[in-house]
Amino acid sequence: MADALGSGATSAPALTDAHLDRIAARRDVNAYINVTGEMAKVAAATAAQSRDLPLAGIPIAIKDNITVEGVPCTCGSRMLEHWIAPYDAAVVERLKSAGAVILGKTNCDEFAMGSSNENSYFGPVQNPNAPGRVPGGSSGGSAAAVADFQAAAALGSDTGGSVRLPAAFCGVVGLKPTYGAVSRWGLVAFASSLDQVGVLGRTVDDTRRVFEVIRGYDPKDSTSMRDIPVEPIPETLTIGLPREYYGDGLDPEVRRAVTGTAQALQAAGHRLVDVSLPNSPYTIAAYYIICCAEASANLARYDGVKYGYRSASTQDLSSMYGRTRSEGFGMEVKRRILLGTYVLSAGYFDAYYATAQKVRARIAADFTDAFKTIDCLLTPTAPTCAFKLGEKLDDPLAMYLMDIYTTSVNLAGLPAISIPCGRSSAGLPIGAQIIGRPFEENLILSLASEVEERVGGSNNVS
C-alpha cells in the first residue's frame, strides 16, 4: 500500500474509503466494535499532504482496550460501553504522528481475558478463514480485521498470548514485543507485569514497519526501556526446539507443520538443537494465578464512581458497588476477580501467589539457560487450529490450556512472533512461534521472514 501511495497509483482517501467499504460489507465478521469513519477520512485527507511519513495514509485498526482520544474504549465490556477515552495511548499518538489512519476499535474478549474472543459483551468474532470457528483471543477482532482485509495492520495486546494465538488461528503474523519495548500508557491494564502492546500484520515486513513506529522509551510508562542497542544478526542461527512444547496434547497436523518449518530452516543453513525448558509444565498454573491476582487489583477501579457503568438500582453505597460490578462485568471477568482475590487473601497468599512468583522466576531462568547456547526457540503457537464457536465455552480449563505455549513468554518478558506455517487438511491456518532473547525483535523478525519465504503463509481470504 505504501508503494501504491508513493507512486500515485492510489491515494490515502481512496485507500481509506476502500477499507471502510470492506468493513461495512463484512459486518458479519464482527471485527470492529466502533468504526471511526469520519475521523479516518479527516486523517486520510491530512495524510495525503504528508507523504514522507513512515505510515502516511496506511489504515490501521486498534484493539478496543487501547485508548484513542474522543472515541469509546469499551474493552469488550458492558462496564465501559459508553466510556469515551480522554487521551491517546502512547502507541496511538506514535501511529498518528507517523501518518497512519485509524479506522476504528476492534472487538476483543472482555478486558482481554480469553483465548477465543467469545467473552466479548459485543458478541463473538468469526474467523474469516473459517466461518463458524473462533478467531482466537483475546485480540480476535484485530486478527480477523487484518486477515479479512478490513485493515492493513492492527494493534493488539498480549498478556499471555492474545496477539500470537489469534494470529495463528487467522493465518496472519503477530508480534509480542519484549516487556518494556513498547509503552503501555493508554493500554487498559489487565495484568500489568505481563501486558504488552503487539502488532498484527499480513506480512512480516508490515508487522515490522508498525513495530518500528510504536516501539521506544516513554517517560509515562515506568517499565518502558531506554536506548536499546540493536545487535547484529548472525547469518547462521542456532534454533532450539524445546521438547516440552512438542509433547502430548499437540495436534498431529500442527506438529507436522511446525516440524516441517524447522526442517526448512535447517535446509537453509540454520542449526537445530533439542533443548529442555524443564519448568514448562507449571506455566499455565503460574500464569493464571499471577494474571488473576493482578486483574483483581486492576479492576477494583470499576466501581460505578470513577469510570463507566453504574447500576440504576442503588439504595446505598455498598449495594451500588455490588450491583454495578455484578451487572457491568461478564462471567469470565468475575471468575478471575474471585480467583485473584482468593490467591491474594491473607490465608492463601504464600501457598498460591508467592509460590507462583517463585515458579515464574524459574520459568524465566529456564529461558536464560537455554539462550546461553541457542539464538532463539521455535515452537507451535497453539496446540490446535481454530476450534468451533461455543466448543470450549463451558470448560474454562480447556480454554486456558490453549495458552500452553504462549504464556511462558509473558512470564519471562521475552519477545515472540507467530508466523503462518501452513494449513491443516481442513484448510485451517497453523502458526509457528519464534521466541527470542530480550530486545532481539530484529532477530525473530528476520527469521520469521525466512519462514515466510520458504514455507509460505496461510491466510486464504480473498
Q: Active-site residue numbers?
A: 63, 138, 162
Judged by CB under 6 A, does residue 1 bind ligand GLN? no
- Based on the shown chain and the rule CB under 6 A, indicate whether residue 150 belongs to the binding site for ligand GLN: no
Least Cα distance to 152 among 39, 258, 58, 48 occurs for: 58
Per-residue binding string, ligand GLN, 269-298, x by CB under 6 A, is ----------------------x-------
Segment contacting ligand GLN by CB under 6 A, of 92-100, 108-116, 388-396, 445-453: 108-116
Total residues interacting with ligand GLN, rule: CB under 6 A: 14
Of 57 and 330, the one with the shorter C-beta distance to ligand GLN is 330
Write down the least CB distance from residue 94 to ligand GLN, Å: 21
Sole binder of ligand GLN in the list 77, 115, 183, 458 (CB under 6 A): 115
Cα four-point dihedral sign 218, 222, 224, 226: positive
DSSP 5-56: HHHTSS-HHHHHHHHHHHHHHTGGG--EEEE-HHHHHHHHHHHTT-TTSTTT
CA distances from 360 to 285, 365, 412 (A): 10, 9, 7
Grid cell 532450539 — which residue? 240
Q: Which among 201, 232, 176, 231 is positioned nearest to 416, based on CA atoms? A: 176
Q: What's the closest the beta carbon of residue 138 comes to ligand GLN, in angstroms? A: 4
Closer residue to ligand GLN in complex, CB, 162/203:
162
Q: Does 124 bind ligand GLN (CB under 6 A)?
A: no
Among residues 31 and 134, whose Cβ is nearest to ligand GLN?
134
The only residue of 33, 112, 155, 434 in contact with ligand GLN, by rule CB under 6 A: 112
Among the candidate windows 153-161, 208-216, 255-263, 342-350, which touches ligand GLN by CB under 6 A? 153-161
Q: Residue 107 is placed in which grid cell?
A: 472487538
Which of 88, 158, 244, 366 forms a contact with ligand GLN (CB under 6 A)? Answer: 158
* Interaction between residue 168 and ligand GLN (CB under 6 A): no
Closest residue to ligand GLN, based on beta-carbon distance: 162
Burial of 225: CB neighbours in 10 Å, binned 0-12, 13-18, 19+: middle
Q: How far is the CB of 65 from ligand GLN (least distance, A)?
A: 9
Tell me if 159 contacts ligand GLN by CB under 6 A.
Answer: yes
Choose the stretch contacting ligand GLN; rule: CB under 6 A; options: 26-34, 158-166, 246-254, 261-269. Answer: 158-166
Count other C-beta atoms under 10 Å from residue 147's C-beta.
30
Does position 444 interact with ligand GLN (CB under 6 A)? The reply is no
Only one residue has cell 507436522, namely 256
Q: Is there a contact between 55 and 13 (Cβ–Cβ < 8 Å)? A: no
Beta carbon of residue 75, minimum distance to ligand GLN (angstroms, whole number): 11
Candidates 5-13, 111-119, 197-205, 424-432: pick the segment binding ligand GLN (CB under 6 A).
111-119
CA 21 to chain centre: 25
Q: Distance between CA atoms of 291 and 128, rounded to whole angstroms?
A: 29
> DSSP character for 59?
E
3-state DSSP helix/strand/coil percent for the chain, to nearest 5? 40, 15, 45
* 173 CB-near residues (< 8 Å, 6+ apart): 167, 200, 201, 202, 203, 204, 206, 207, 417, 418, 419, 420, 448, 452
In 248-404, which residue ranges form alpha helices assigned H by DSSP? Answer: 252-267, 283-298, 317-328, 331-344, 355-370, 396-400
Q: 312-340 b/e with 16+ CB inside 10 Å = b?
A: eeeeeeeebbebbbeebbbebbeebbebb
- Contact string 315-344 vs ligand GLN (x = CB under 6 A): ------------------------------
Residues 395 to 414 in contact with ligand GLN, rule: CB under 6 A: 403
> Of 70-78, 106-114, 224-232, 303-311, which part binds ligand GLN (CB under 6 A)?
106-114
CB of 415 to ligand GLN, least distance (A): 15
In the complex with ligand GLN, which residue's Cβ is closer, 55 or 409? 409
Residues forming contacts to ligand GLN in the complex (CB under 6 A) are: 112-115, 138, 157-162, 190, 291, 403
